[in-house]
């Protein structure tokens, strides 16, 4: 049996397991002893639990729930949540460090499975739930016994949240939901769903949307199908259907007809975390490529001896370092309670595009080996593509920046 642990219980002696991750002696924009130890614990988990099994999870299309349960036992699902629920009560910078280290695993599907639970879905109840709702659900969320998903996107409404069509109408002492949701990460295997639905059919635009808590097994709720994706293969992604799905009145999350604003608030954290994950992936791709080009010989010398390769990797390293500073700048502003929509939108746009440039260049420098499924860089190329789409497409993010210029 594994002893339960939390972020606050980690010992500085754990630094010895840092492996090839971020050195504890390297100055970091987020640096604190607690966040440094968080990085070490995530690196240890990846080395011991993810790297030996990641290929199997890719083939199976999901991360086993016992693996997620172990993450909960280690305190990795309660980084931002109050101690009363078993959390560590850290701030946005801790979530960013967590996401960055998960990105370095090279398994984007595993990373997003965990991050949707910790930073994209469960914040809905943590931020807007009543005391009763939080007391009921938060302990299981933190322990990993309850895995969450957020259901906003629809076949005809992705980044355009205001145009969702799923409806909720009052019925007795509750609500009846009808509609469908698309591209829902953790959609097949989650236990708890936070669902956006139109509660005022006459309201225009973003008005009249509410959030609901729907438990797996609710009558009228079903996983329509599991979706087959280009990348993030170890992340289960599904289409959901609601056919006269009744939920009690106390399943409403937050204020009636104010769900759009809750979604937008949570988008800020989601987009910052996705930017951090992307920069973890980009840095790992550079690290892997450096190891390859310094040993792979062509035309009588290592590839590293070619000016064009050295200089291109050096420029990519400079760009990743700069983008990473932007990520932590946005996280620091968010942690301080400042309005940072422009900063986070820049993070999502820049990092989503940059990670694709990095992994494609790194694959090129791997040559034919980089096209083989046995090469991590091949998987990273497929996984990175969605970073410019999911959580807010680059074009949508740039419009958010432009509005505030």
293-335 pLDDT, tens digit per residue, is 999 988 889 899 999 999 999 999 999 999 999 999 999 999 9
pTM value surpassing 0.95: no
HEC profile of 338-361: CCCHHHHHHHHHHHHHHHHHHHHH
Q: Report the alpha-carbon distance of residue 301 to residue 298 in Å, rounded.
A: 6
Which residues of the chain does CATH 1.10.540.10 include? 19-143
CA torsion, points 218, 246, 207, 195, in degrees to nearest 10? 0
Q: Residue 298's beta-bridge partner residues?
A: 301
pLDDT at 28 over 60: no
**Nearest Cα residue to 37 out of 10, 69, 77:** 10
Residue 207 has a pLDDT of 87
**Residue 159's CB: how many other CB atoms inside 10 A?**
17
- Banded model confidence at residue 24, pLDDT cuts 50, 70, 90: very low
Share of the chain above pLDDT 70, in %: 91
**Beta strands, E only, 266-390:** 297-298, 301-302
Superfamily of domain 261-403: Butyryl-CoA Dehydrogenase, subunit A, domain 3 (1.20.140.10)
* CATH 3.40.605.10, domain 148-258, yes or no: no
Catalytic residues: 270
Assign domain 19-143 to its CATH superfamily.
Acyl-CoA dehydrogenase/oxidase, N-terminal domain (1.10.540.10)
Confidence of residue 32 (pLDDT cuts 50, 70, 90): confident
Tell me how far CA of residue 346 lies from CA of 325, 354, 391, in angstroms. 12, 12, 13
193 pLDDT more than 50: yes
Where in the sequence of the chain do the CATH 2.40.110.10 domains occur? Answer: 148-258
Spatial separation of the C-alpha atoms in residues 139 and 241, rounded to whole Å: 27
* Length of the chain as a residue count: 405
User: Where in the sequence of the chain do the CATH 1.20.140.10 domains occur?
Assistant: 261-403
In this predicted structure, the answer to whether residue 16 has a pLDDT above a threshold of 60 is no
Which string of b and e fits 63-77 if b means at least 16 CB within 10 Å? beeebbbbbbbbbbb
Residues 6+ apart with CB under 8 A from 164: 152, 154, 157, 179, 196, 197, 198, 209
């Amino acid at each position: 049996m594994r002893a339960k642990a939390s972020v606050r219980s980690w010992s500085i002696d754990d630094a010895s397991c840092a492996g090839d991750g971020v050195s504890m002696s390297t100055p970091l924009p987020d640096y604190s002893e607690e966040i440094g130890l968080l990085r070490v614990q995530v690196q240890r988990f990846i080395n011991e639990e993810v790297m030996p099994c990641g290929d199997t999870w890719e083939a199976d299309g999901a991360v086993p729930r016992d693996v997620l349960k172990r993450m909960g036992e280690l305190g990795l699902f309660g980084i931002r949540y109050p101690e009363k629920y078993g959390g560590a009560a850290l701030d946005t910078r801790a979530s960013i460090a967590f996401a960055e280290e998960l990105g370095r695993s090279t398994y984007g599907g595993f990373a997003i499975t965990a991050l949707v639970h910790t930073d994209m879905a469960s914040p809905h109840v943590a931020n807007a739930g009543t005391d009763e709702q939080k007391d009921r659900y938060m302990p299981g969320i933190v322990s990993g016994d309850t895995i969450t998903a957020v259901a906003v996107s629809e076949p005809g409404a992705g980044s355009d949240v205001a145009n969702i069509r799923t409806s909720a109408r009052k019925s007795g002492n509750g609500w009846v939901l009808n509609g469908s949701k698309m591209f829902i990460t953790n959609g097949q295997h989650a236990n708890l769903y936070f669902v956006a639905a139109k509660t005022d059919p006459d309201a225009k635009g973003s008005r009249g949307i509410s959030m609901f808590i729907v438990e797996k097994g609710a009558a009228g709720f079903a996983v329509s199908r599991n979706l087959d994706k280009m990348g993030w293969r170890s992340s289960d992604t599904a289409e959901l259907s609601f056919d006269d799905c009744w939920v009690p009145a106390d399943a409403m999350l937050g204020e009636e007809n104010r769900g759009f604003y809750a979604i937008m608030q949570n988008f800020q954290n989601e987009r910052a975390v996705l930017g951090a994950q992307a920069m973890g992936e980009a840095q790992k791709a550079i690290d892997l490529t450096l190891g390859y080009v310094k040993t792979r010989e062509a035309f009588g010398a290592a590839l590293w001896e070619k000016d064009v390769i050295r200089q291109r990797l050096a420029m990519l390293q400079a760009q990743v370092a700069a983008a990473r500073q932007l990520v932590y700048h946005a996280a620091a502003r968010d942690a301080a309670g400042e309005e940072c929509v422009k900063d986070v939108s820049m993070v999502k746009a820049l990092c989503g595009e940059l990670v694709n440039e990095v992994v494609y260049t790194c694959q090129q420098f791997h040559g034919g080996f980089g096209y083989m499924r046995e090469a991590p860089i091949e998987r990273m190329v497929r996984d990175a593509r969605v970073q410019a789409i999911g959580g807010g497409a680059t074009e949508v993010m740039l419009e958010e920046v432009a509005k505030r210029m």
